[in-house]
Structure 1
Amino acid sequence: MDIARHLALIDELCFRPFPAEHGPEGEGERVPGGFAVVLASSQDLCTRDPAERAPTVGEYETHRDALREHLAGRWGETDPWNLQTVLLRTEREEIPEPWAGLCAHARMAHLWAVEGTGRWVALAVADRDPADEVRLLAVVTEIDPP
Structure 2
Amino acid sequence: MDEDVLVTPGHLISLAARGFARLSEARLGPLGFGVGQLPVLVALHNGIARTQRDLARFAKVEQPPMAQMLARMERDGLITRTRDPQDGRSSHIALTRTAQERLSEASERLFQGNREALAGFSDAEANQFVEFLVRLIENLDRIASVETENSDT
Q: Tell me the TM-score normalized by structure 2.
A: 0.26
Which structure has the higher relative contact order (CA within 8 Å, separation 6+)? 1
TM-score, normalised relative to structure 1: 0.27
| Higher fraction of strand | 1
Give the structure with the higher percent helix. 2
User: Who wins on radius of gyration, i.e. which is larger?
Assistant: 2
